[in-house]
Amino acid sequence: MVLVACPYVAAGLQVASRTVSVRVLRCVALAKRVQGLLWIALALATSLVNSPAMAERRVALVIGNGEYSKAESGWDPLPNVARDVTAIANILRQLGFDVVGGARRNLGRAEFMSALQEFGNKAQGADWALIYYAGHGHKLGEVNYLVPIDSKVSGDITLDALLPSVKMAKSVKLIISDACRVPVDQSSNAQPLGLPPDGTGAVFVYGAQAGMYSYDGNFNQNSPFMKALLRHIATDYLTLETVFSRVHHDVMAETKNYPRGMQVPTQYGIFPEEASFTSNLGPEPIFFPKNRGPMNFIPGGGWLVFFDWNNTNLSAQALATIDQVASAYKASNASSILLTGNSDTDEVVRYKSGLSLDRARAIRKELVKRGISAQAILVQARKDEDRLVPTGEGVREPQNRNVEIVLHGETPAPSISWQITNSTSGVIGYKLFAPDRKWVWPGANTAWTLKPGETANFKEKCLQGEKVCYGAWDTNGTWGLGAHGDLGCSKCCNTCGVEVKASPINLGK
């Protein structure tokens, strides 16, 4: 390895399953007292059954072998592995995983096999099964091996031994291996860790391509692969594909000038579509950018796609329109595509308000199939008062069942450049917040850090005209909006525009 009946539903609160039962009963009782409203209670009950309270069941096994003895095992020690597995185990817990046994470090063969058996028992019927391994690995003949601490005494673990446990999951089956893939001891027949078995339904992510080192990292730090993974894994609502694409890019950027050569992560298998590490935290937020300012519409860049009542199916005409959108985007200087989903008031009352977003997502899926990056497609839902045809509650209006498509043509994309310096004697954490749409960089469950004396220079894309603020903290206090974006500060924000540069921020002075 070198997420007039029951206000809590309208508010979108996340509740525990036990509370759901109580609240459903309250809804039913209310409906019994109000003639003609029973169908509302039934619709709400259905909504609650499908709410984040019924979250996916996720299990993970995290193993890091680093305390190898060169003399006893023939493998070099890996000092940063313990730090890596502790970090990934902690963040997986925050993302709703049952990390079986916690961060397991320095396992011999018997302990390794026991951990796999315990994990396999927990993985039966789970939605996600994830194994993260950091340590040494190699190939002998046609068999791939992971190396326990007592390698020479009891033998290595075949990569295939991980599959039975992972294959029990219903949705996501993921094995991540941060291990070197360079030739090992030249005096033996062992070769670098090779291709994983195919046809298993599992996705394998390797920290490096064949012939490359997977670096352990500098002293007292995480490995390059782990640093990148921690940076992106909890970013709100990124798909697995996007997370690992960003990890790939960051690792290459960090290691491009390393003496032993650049490290390039690689992937075998295809992630389930729309799968996301953060989907377990609740539904994708419906946000309505405020004060965005005029968007630079490209001529001919606005379309409407209509839907039948209460569904997201795309007609032949809708698909033809999507073809036009994709062609126009590719032929223009547009930087992004904005999809705004809409529902009529009958759909919202009877069914889930998320239907508007689901319609927009259906079009995003088709645009991605046509070669447009998912990262260039912004999905949102129309506010109730902004429907195309104003109606009362419970009205079926075909014109309101649509998705509006607009090409957004700033060149370059709106952004703000930041310079933040840590002038304290300790480590500082910091984030950026877009309060109007409740957006957080780098993610709700992670943060950037600055060591004493360090300066961070970076640029983040944003929505034209929106307010973006910084928040920072250490063990002694806070700056700006603080760690949760909830403190008042009139001088901590900037307005997003084309190439906006924020004033330098010096924390501690």
Check whether 133 has a pLDDT greater than 80: yes
| Pair 421, 455: CB distance under 8 Å | yes
Q: Which residues contact 149 (CB under 8 A, 6 or more apart)?
A: 65, 67, 68, 73, 106, 107, 108
Q: How far apart are CA 347 and CA 350, in angstroms?
A: 5
* Residue with more model confidence, 122 or 145: 122
Q: Which residues contact 241 (CB under 8 A, 6 or more apart)?
A: 271, 374
Q: Which residues contact 167 (CB under 8 A, 6 or more apart)?
A: 129, 173, 200, 201, 202
pTM of the model: 0.50
H helical segments located in 11-145: 17-33, 38-49, 70-73, 81-94, 109-123
Q: What angle do CA 391, 396, 401 make, to 5 degrees?
A: 90
Q: How far apart are CA 209 and CA 182, in angstroms?
A: 9
How many residues in total does the chain contain?
509
How much is the pLDDT for 198?
63
Check whether 167 has a pLDDT greater than 60: yes
What stretches of 342-385 adopt beta strand conformation (E)?
A: 377-381
- 3-state SS assignment for residue 5: coil
232-253 tens-digit pLDDT: 888 766 788 888 888 888 888 8
Q: Which of 45-49, 310-314, 445-449 has the lowest mean pLDDT?
A: 45-49
Check whether 504 has a pLDDT greater than 90: yes
How much is the pLDDT for 94?
86
Across the range 333-352, mean pLDDT stands at: 77
186-237 tens-digit pLDDT: 445 556 666 766 657 889 999 888 778 888 878 778 899 999 999 888 876 6
How much is the pLDDT for 154?
65
- Determine the longest span between alpha carbons in the chain, in angstroms: 84
How much is the pLDDT for 149?
86
Burial string for 49-78 (b: 16+ CB within 10 Å, else e) reads eebbbebbbbbbbbbbbbebeeeebbbeeb
How much is the pLDDT for 461?
74
**Dihedral of CA 222/224/225/228: which sign?**
positive
